[in-house]
Amino acid sequence: MDHKMRWPKIGPRVHVEWLDPAIYSMCELSEAVPCEYWTEGTIVKKKKDYVVLATSQYKDGSGDFTALPKGMITKIEVIT
């Protein structure tokens, strides 16, 4: 993903596809690839190198969050 692209503002619900590092042992080299994941949530924080999604959140601000380095993100779409 182009890190200079326009990222959605804080607030919208998004679908994010991203690559997760993986460890492979006793396998063929061709099998060693990052794992493909997706997460959906609301953008609650944006920094230069990462974004934070809330997948659930209490009214007091606590909740479940996923912090994703922008370099791991392969696709991000606003859910309408």
Q: Residue 5's pLDDT band (boundaries 50, 70, 90)?
A: low
Q: Rounded distance, CA 59 to CA 3, Å? A: 32
Q: Rounded distance, CA 71 to CA 31, Å? A: 22
Q: Is 61 left (phi over 0), alpha (psi -120 to 50) or beta?
A: left
Per-residue pLDDT tens over the stretch 16-75: 999 999 999 999 999 999 999 999 999 999 999 999 999 999 999 899 999 999 999 999
Which is it for the CA torsion 47, 62, 66, 75, positive or negative? negative
Tell me what pLDDT residue 74 has: 94
pTM of the model: 0.81
Task: Compare 4 and 6 and report the one with higher pLDDT.
Answer: 6
